[in-house]
Amino acid sequence: MSRLGFLAAACLLVCAGVLFFVYAIPRFSPPSISLQDPLIGNVFVSSLDLLVLESFPVQVNAVVKGHLADPCSMIDEVFSTQADTTFLLTIRTVKPTDAHCHLDSKPFEEIISLDVTNLPAGTYQVSLHDHTQSFTLTTDNLLPSPPLDSTN
Protein backbone atom coordinates (compact mmCIF):
# COMPACT_ATOMS: atom_id res chain seq x y z
CA MET A 1 0.00 0.00 0.00
CA SER A 2 1.37 3.36 -0.87
CA ARG A 3 2.13 5.87 1.78
CA LEU A 4 -0.66 8.15 0.52
CA GLY A 5 -3.18 5.30 0.61
CA PHE A 6 -2.09 4.39 4.13
CA LEU A 7 -2.59 7.99 5.33
CA ALA A 8 -6.01 8.16 3.70
CA ALA A 9 -7.07 4.88 5.32
CA ALA A 10 -5.76 6.01 8.72
CA CYS A 11 -7.55 9.34 8.42
CA LEU A 12 -10.78 7.56 7.48
CA LEU A 13 -10.53 5.29 10.54
CA VAL A 14 -9.77 8.23 12.85
CA CYS A 15 -12.67 10.28 11.44
CA ALA A 16 -15.04 7.32 11.80
CA GLY A 17 -13.91 6.85 15.41
CA VAL A 18 -14.46 10.52 16.22
CA LEU A 19 -17.94 10.43 14.68
CA PHE A 20 -18.77 7.30 16.67
CA PHE A 21 -17.60 8.96 19.87
CA VAL A 22 -19.50 12.17 19.20
CA TYR A 23 -22.81 10.59 18.21
CA ALA A 24 -22.91 7.17 19.92
CA ILE A 25 -21.83 8.01 23.47
CA PRO A 26 -24.69 9.40 25.58
CA ARG A 27 -24.00 12.79 27.08
CA PHE A 28 -24.67 13.98 30.61
CA SER A 29 -27.50 16.49 30.71
CA PRO A 30 -28.06 18.54 33.85
CA PRO A 31 -31.67 18.66 35.05
CA SER A 32 -33.59 21.29 33.14
CA ILE A 33 -34.82 24.34 34.99
CA SER A 34 -37.74 25.99 33.27
CA LEU A 35 -37.31 29.69 32.74
CA GLN A 36 -40.92 29.78 31.61
CA ASP A 37 -42.35 29.40 35.14
CA PRO A 38 -43.32 32.90 36.25
CA LEU A 39 -42.54 34.45 39.61
CA ILE A 40 -45.79 35.16 41.46
CA GLY A 41 -46.16 38.24 43.65
CA ASN A 42 -48.53 40.84 44.99
CA VAL A 43 -49.05 44.54 44.41
CA PHE A 44 -48.29 47.51 46.64
CA VAL A 45 -51.63 49.27 47.24
CA SER A 46 -51.72 53.02 47.76
CA SER A 47 -55.51 53.54 47.61
CA LEU A 48 -58.81 51.69 47.52
CA ASP A 49 -61.95 53.59 46.52
CA LEU A 50 -65.48 52.38 45.85
CA LEU A 51 -67.81 53.53 43.10
CA VAL A 52 -71.48 52.77 43.70
CA LEU A 53 -73.26 53.05 40.38
CA GLU A 54 -76.79 54.37 40.53
CA SER A 55 -78.58 51.62 38.71
CA PHE A 56 -80.91 48.83 39.62
CA PRO A 57 -79.70 46.44 40.57
CA VAL A 58 -76.94 48.51 42.14
CA GLN A 59 -73.40 47.88 40.86
CA VAL A 60 -70.26 48.46 42.93
CA ASN A 61 -66.71 48.78 41.58
CA ALA A 62 -63.52 48.83 43.64
CA VAL A 63 -60.88 51.15 42.18
CA VAL A 64 -57.40 50.10 43.30
CA LYS A 65 -54.30 52.22 42.71
CA GLY A 66 -50.78 51.25 43.57
CA HIS A 67 -47.46 50.02 42.22
CA LEU A 68 -46.10 46.82 40.77
CA ALA A 69 -42.70 45.73 42.08
CA ASP A 70 -40.95 46.44 38.77
CA PRO A 71 -41.68 47.14 35.09
CA CYS A 72 -41.53 43.42 34.19
CA SER A 73 -44.36 42.48 36.60
CA MET A 74 -47.94 42.45 35.36
CA ILE A 75 -51.33 41.80 36.93
CA ASP A 76 -52.27 38.18 36.32
CA GLU A 77 -55.39 37.48 38.36
CA VAL A 78 -57.83 39.38 40.53
CA PHE A 79 -59.81 37.50 43.16
CA SER A 80 -62.89 38.73 45.02
CA THR A 81 -64.35 36.51 47.72
CA GLN A 82 -67.25 37.35 49.99
CA ALA A 83 -67.60 36.24 53.59
CA ASP A 84 -70.76 37.56 55.26
CA THR A 85 -70.63 41.34 54.78
CA THR A 86 -66.95 41.54 53.78
CA PHE A 87 -65.44 41.35 50.30
CA LEU A 88 -61.77 40.26 50.36
CA LEU A 89 -59.77 41.29 47.30
CA THR A 90 -56.50 39.78 46.11
CA ILE A 91 -54.43 40.96 43.15
CA ARG A 92 -51.75 38.54 41.98
CA THR A 93 -48.86 39.52 39.71
CA VAL A 94 -46.52 37.48 37.55
CA LYS A 95 -43.07 38.10 36.14
CA PRO A 96 -40.93 35.85 33.92
CA THR A 97 -38.09 34.27 35.90
CA ASP A 98 -35.57 35.20 33.23
CA ALA A 99 -36.62 38.87 33.11
CA HIS A 100 -33.90 41.40 33.85
CA CYS A 101 -35.65 44.46 35.26
CA HIS A 102 -34.49 47.51 37.09
CA LEU A 103 -36.11 47.99 40.48
CA ASP A 104 -38.26 51.01 39.65
CA SER A 105 -41.87 50.36 40.59
CA LYS A 106 -44.58 50.65 37.95
CA PRO A 107 -47.92 52.36 38.78
CA PHE A 108 -51.22 50.63 38.05
CA GLU A 109 -54.95 51.18 38.38
CA GLU A 110 -57.35 48.24 38.47
CA ILE A 111 -61.16 48.40 38.49
CA ILE A 112 -62.77 45.36 40.11
CA SER A 113 -66.48 44.73 39.73
CA LEU A 114 -67.97 43.32 42.93
CA ASP A 115 -70.79 40.79 42.73
CA VAL A 116 -73.46 42.56 44.79
CA THR A 117 -76.48 41.12 43.00
CA ASN A 118 -79.11 39.60 45.31
CA LEU A 119 -77.52 41.02 48.48
CA PRO A 120 -79.86 42.25 51.22
CA ALA A 121 -79.82 45.87 52.33
CA GLY A 122 -76.96 46.62 54.70
CA THR A 123 -73.42 47.89 55.07
CA TYR A 124 -70.56 45.94 53.47
CA GLN A 125 -66.78 46.21 53.79
CA VAL A 126 -64.22 45.77 51.01
CA SER A 127 -60.65 44.91 52.09
CA LEU A 128 -57.36 44.69 50.21
CA HIS A 129 -54.15 44.43 52.24
CA ASP A 130 -54.41 47.12 54.93
CA HIS A 131 -57.03 49.19 53.06
CA THR A 132 -60.72 48.92 53.90
CA GLN A 133 -63.70 50.84 52.54
CA SER A 134 -67.43 50.35 53.05
CA PHE A 135 -70.62 50.88 51.09
CA THR A 136 -74.29 50.68 52.03
CA LEU A 137 -77.16 49.16 50.10
CA THR A 138 -80.27 51.03 51.23
CA THR A 139 -82.60 48.42 49.74
CA ASP A 140 -82.31 44.76 48.87
CA ASN A 141 -80.34 44.45 45.63
CA LEU A 142 -82.51 41.75 44.08
CA LEU A 143 -82.83 41.16 40.37
CA PRO A 144 -86.34 41.85 39.10
CA SER A 145 -88.43 38.73 38.64
CA PRO A 146 -89.22 37.80 35.05
CA PRO A 147 -92.81 38.62 34.07
CA LEU A 148 -95.29 35.83 34.31
CA ASP A 149 -96.45 34.36 31.03
CA SER A 150 -100.03 35.63 30.59
CA THR A 151 -100.76 33.61 27.45
CA ASN A 152 -102.25 30.67 29.42
pLDDT, position 23: 44
Domain-embedded: residue 93: yes
pLDDT, position 20: 43
Instruction: Look at residue 152 and tell me whether its pLDDT is greater than 90.
Output: no
Three-class SS of residue 124? strand
Integer Cα distance of 33 and 27 in angstroms = 18
Question: CB of 96 within 8 A of CB of 72?
Answer: yes
Domain-embedded: residue 3: no
**Closest by CA position to 43, among listed 112, 98, 99, 100:** 112
pLDDT, position 151: 66
Domain-embedded: residue 42: yes
Provide the residue range defining the domain that includes 104. Answer: 38-137
How many domains does the chain divide into?
A: 1
Which band of pLDDT confidence, cut at 50, 70 and 90, is reported for residue 67?
A: very high
Domain-embedded: residue 104: yes
Integer Cα distance of 27 and 2 in angstroms = 39
Indicate the range of 102-111, 117-126, 130-139, 140-149 predicted with least confidence: 140-149
Which band of pLDDT confidence, cut at 50, 70 and 90, is reported for residue 143?
A: confident
Domain-embedded: residue 19: no
Could you read off the pLDDT of 5-47 as tens digits, one per residue?
554 455 444 444 544 444 444 444 433 333 356 778 889 999 9
Give me the phi and psi of 20, to 5 degrees please: -60, -45
Instruction: Look at residue 117 and tell me whether its pLDDT is greater than 90.
Output: yes
- For the chain, give the mean pLDDT: 81
